[in-house]
Structure 1
Amino acid sequence: MSDIQYTKLRWLLTIAGLFLYVVDILTDIGLALKYFQEKHFVWTGLTLMFVLVGLLVTQIFSHAWYRDDMNDVLINPEGKTTIQGMSKGGLAALHLFGLGIFTRYYHLLKQGFKVVWTTTNPYIVEERRDVHHNLFCLATDLSMLKLFEAFLESVPQLLLQLYILLGHDECSFIQYLSMAFSLFNIAWALVNYRRCLRRSLRDIKEMPSGLPTAIYLFYKLCTMTSRILSYTLLLILSSYSTVALTILWLLWTTWAHLLQTNFCSSRSLELLYRAVTGVILIFTFFNIKGQDTRAAMIIYYLFYCVINITAPLLLAFLKPELQKTTFFRTITGLIFGGSVLGLVCLVLYYLLLHPREMWRQADEVDGMGNEPRTTSRIRKFLQL
């Protein structure tokens, strides 16, 4: 069972993730206050908007998942009107005040502490395996919410601050701090989600830490950073590029709709989920249906290369005075270098390091049709 043990290191890393989450939001709020004092009201509004959108969406999904678990007869066989000691009213109040993720951190850290730091171990082997697996299910729910938050808040925030920095020559210490923690939060969300997801599903092979994790992280960060820089150049070229980004979001959201995702228990939440996946697909590729997507990924990254080549060329053609500047050469080099490195890491990861899935055949004892809704929900999470 060592492959699914929730260790002391994992418990400490959960605290590190909470720290990054809090500091990322606080630095963004501090930056918004600075813009407000300098009377940059549009930048203030956009900076705060990304923070609020990330908070709002994660609260909505967190509350919905708690309610789903409360109604699951395998998780709540006695039909109790509370879950994790919270009533429906208390649950709604916590999420209304934006404390949903903090509530999940509290329960995960509390239950994890009892398991990994308590010297007495009353569980038999099978019970111990189930306890550790439950902890990873809690961690996976939390990591999915953090992934949503990263792409709804940290990623667009990084794009906005790069646009302000490069397009308007506005720089400050708090701005650099905000960008740094946004990048750290994105990296953490990606790696933590990948590891928690695979450990929460017993029939999926776990990817070893070390080189495979590093290659995966380089693939994601390099491709995402080069794309964000390309979008930044397009925004510098014209603020109307936001219209093109909106159209791109609508196209990816429509694609998710055509795939008929069935992630949520209600129609309205499903539409919100598809809108969120549309945002994620603007910046990076994820398998949103758990199917073979080799052809879709190839098409996606061909389109990715077109954008990364077109953006610098358009800026050089329409604003030739920038061609010889250090700024233009540096950003262009980062875009092309990041694209090449990211795609090389992508190929290495999927050819050599990505575990080949071996799904179990369901049976009467452990069949997938009899699993709790928590595990069933996790199976529908974005796949790597």
Structure 2
Amino acid sequence: MFQSDNQYSKLRWLLTVAGLFLYVVDIWTDVGLALKYFEEQHYVWCGLTLMFVMAALVVTQIFSFVWYWDDRNDGLINPEGKSNIGGMSTCELAVLHVFGLGIFTRFYHLLKKGFKEVWTTNHYTSEEVREVHHSLFCMATDLSMLKLFEAFLESAPQLLLQLYILLGHDEGSFVQYLSVTFSCFNIAWALVDYRRCLRRSLPHITEMPSGLPTTIYLLYKLCTIASLILSFSLLLILSTYSTIAFTVLWLLATIWTHALQTSFCSTRRLEPLYRAVVGVILTFTFFNVKGQNTKVAMIIYYFTHFLIHFAALLVMSLLKPEMWTSATFLTVSSLIIGGSVLGLVCLVLYYLLLHPGGKDPVGDEVDGLRKETESARRGRNSLQP
């Protein structure tokens, strides 16, 4: 019997609308902030703010269009070999992606199809219902992957930049606080949405329960990410040359991803870009890159985080001891230590007691599908939560 928990429900449709709103507002606040910096002649800050927005936009458009192309050539998704996708020709889709509307196109297709299925009466058999709702979750998973890329290519570095400006230059403004707030919300939303959509689109992976497991997982991610970004911001305040260290961390993460020989993309030419994006994500948080048991890798990863926190606080106390009399930096140091500890406690609680994977608490199984669509293949080979 098809379980209602696996259906694309009305609530899920409404949450997709909320996700669209959050995505738009996050970009608007960042663009508004860039314009403000430009008016105040902070051209470097303006350029960096826009650079993060544009980098995320370009990367997500590339992946979105390639996935549409893969789906068009997929015999299971497009058995009749039609040249259009969702009523749009390849040329029309290309134009939309050139103008940065790829994610909005996916939102439109998902909301349109979802509205037809969940808000109108349909006379389907149980098997047809299963197929339709699985198709909706595959569409939602593709969209959630793109939003995850956008969150770590734009929102996370944007958050780091704005915290550096706030803490190091006392340049606080209402628009800046809005940007920080919506960047946090966007990261949180992307993490949970990606995890839930991916697990629902893959039949061989157990569904992630809502409520306490989702809350603990979100706390684990947000606390570890926030403490790391705060440590990075302190290092930036000490010296802008700290960006070299961040670049080295990204290179190491990218090289490790390359060494794992990921097979996410349908073409080898695009795989290096995917590995570079995964390298950015791993700079901020841990993901199971290839579905293997990653207990050792996770321990090494968070031990490295501990070293970064320790170095940031130690170097700050040695080079700028006068800052420790400031309430702001005392608060930041407390947040770094407290967030790191709370995040790791939530990590242990989640993987020992609440993880839906059962016996293998860290590595999620990614093999075992025989016939699958391109969308399902992407999900199977993507980052495992």
Separation in 1 of the partners of 2:116 and 2:366? Answer: 34
Counterpart check, 1:54 vs 2:34: no
Alignment partner, residue 15 of structure 1: 17
Alignment partner, residue 70 of structure 2: 68
Alignment partner, residue 373 of structure 1: 374
Q: Percent identity?
A: 70
Instruction: Tell me the alpha carbon deviations over residues 9-29 of structure 1, each in whole angstroms, 9 at most, x when there is no partner.
Output: 100000000000000000000
Cα separation, partners in 2 of 1:337 and 1:361, compared to 1, 3 Å: closer
Q: 1:131: how far off?
A: 0.5
Alignment partner, residue 150 of structure 2: 149
Q: Which of 108, 111, 120 in structure 1 is aligned with 2:110?
A: 108
Counterpart check, 1:34 vs 2:65: no
Q: 1:325: how far off?
A: 1.6
Q: Is the 8 A contact 1:204 1:357 kept in 2?
A: no
**Bigger shift: 314-323 or 130-139?**
314-323
Q: 1:369: how far off?
A: 2.4
Structure 2: give runs of 5+ residues left out of the alignment: none
Q: Spell out the pairing of 1:112-261 with structure 2 (5 A cutoff).
A: 112-118=114-120, 120-261=121-262
Q: 1:268: how far off?
A: 2.3
Separation in 2 of the partners of 1:4 and 1:286? Answer: 24
Q: 1:267: how far off?
A: 2.0
Q: 1:89: how far off?
A: 0.8
SS of the aligned residue for 1:369 comes to: coil
**Bigger shift: 74-83 or 27-36?**
74-83
Separation in 1 of the partners of 2:346 and 2:78? Answer: 44
Q: Which of 97, 106, 111 in structure 1 is aligned with 2:99?
A: 97
What residue identity is the alignment partner of 1:198? R
Separation in 1 of the partners of 2:341 and 2:281? Answer: 21
Q: Which portions of structure 1, spanning 4 or more consecutive aligned residues, are displaced by more than 4 angstroms?
A: 357-362
SS of the aligned residue for 1:267 comes to: coil
| Number of residues of Structure 1 aligned to a counterpart in Structure 2 | 379
What residue identity is the alignment partner of 1:174? V
Instruction: Tell me the alpha carbon deviations over residues 76-115 of structure 1, each in whole angstroms, 9 at most, x when there is no partner.
Output: 1121111111211111111000000000000000000011
What residue identity is the alignment partner of 2:104? F
SS of the aligned residue for 1:6 comes to: coil
Cα separation, partners in 2 of 1:48 and 1:287, compared to 1, 3 Å: same
Q: 1:327: how far off?
A: 1.9
Separation in 2 of the partners of 1:277 and 1:49? Answer: 18
Q: 1:360: how far off?
A: 9.8
SS of the aligned residue for 2:221 comes to: helix
Separation in 2 of the partners of 1:356 and 1:175? Answer: 40
Give the alignment's Cα RMSD to 1 decimal.
Answer: 1.4
Separation in 1 of the partners of 2:337 and 2:201? Answer: 37
Q: Is the 8 A contact 1:201 1:379 kept in 2?
A: yes
Alignment partner, residue 296 of structure 1: 297
Separation in 1 of the partners of 2:5 and 2:177? Answer: 39
SS of the aligned residue for 2:325 comes to: coil
Separation in 2 of the partners of 1:235 and 1:356? Answer: 39
What residue identity is the alignment partner of 1:79? G
Q: Is the 8 A contact 2:366 2:381 kept in 1?
A: no
**Bigger shift: 198-207 or 95-104?**
198-207
Alignment partner, residue 318 of structure 1: 319
Q: Is the 8 A contact 2:236 2:242 kept in 1?
A: yes
Instruction: Tell me the alpha carbon deviations over residues 108-141 of structure 1, each in whole angstroms, 9 at most, x when there is no partner.
Output: 00000011100x2221111011101110000000
What residue identity is the alignment partner of 1:382? L
Q: 1:74: how far off?
A: 1.2
Separation in 1 of the partners of 2:129 and 2:150? Answer: 32
Instruction: Tell me the alpha carbon deviations over residues 188-237 of structure 1, each in whole angstroms, 9 at most, x when there is no partner.
Output: 00111111111111121112100000000000000000000000000000
Q: Is the 8 A contact 2:366 2:380 kept in 1?
A: no
Alignment partner, residue 343 of structure 1: 344
